[in-house]
Amino acid sequence: MTDGQIKDLRLEKRGSQSARCNTADLKSYRQEAEHLFYHGYDNYMKHAFPEDELRPLSCKPLTRDRLDPSHIELNDALGNYSLSLVDSLTTLAILASSSSQPQRTKGLRHFQIGVASLVEQYGDGSEGSAGQGLRARGFDVDSKVQVFETMIRGVGGLLSAHLFAMGELPITDYLPENTASTPGSTSI
């Protein structure tokens, strides 16, 4: 996208001159953004999950340097808790609320699979066998992490995904397992 195209996206009026971005352009930009998101997300899930990130050129997972804990520029950025998936849950939930039926279905399916994949890897955090995942019990992982990365991508992604999953933020056609049939009501 060029600087001119970005400038055209501003929808504010300047005097009598209105913005040059029309509805067809906005729809095209949205479809392109969705396509690029799913390209990255699908490749992360195929080639790098459950690691934190995908190396885009080699299509291999970016992992912590377990042999050299002092390699902080790599190790501190990676939390060892499937960071790209956690970070993507909010976007998947928003795409699941899309006005386009095929995209809504795709976003909802990816959101549900993403949540199930996290639970499989990290359990549900409860006592007993359901609480234990393949990698850890909850996110109780022995990792030194960057506070900013963890708060913005990890905690932010988990909190917003939780709100979507519990029905506090609406996803069209999604009813969490523990919700009553009344839209907007939740039980914990």
DSSP state of 129: G
pLDDT of residue 4: 58
Q: What is the value of pTM for the model shown? A: 0.71
Neighbours of 40 (CB within 10 A): 14
The token duo for 120 is 């499989």
What digits encode the pLDDT tens for the residues 11-27? 444 443 445 678 888 88
State how far the Cα of 81 lies from the Cα of 146, in Å rounded to an integer. Answer: 13
State how far the Cα of 167 lies from the Cα of 32, in Å rounded to an integer. Answer: 28
The stretches of 57-184 forming alpha helices (DSSP H) are 72-75, 83-96, 101-122, 147-149, 156-165
> Is the pLDDT at 98 greater than 80, yes or no?
no
> Is the pLDDT at 163 greater than 80, yes or no?
yes
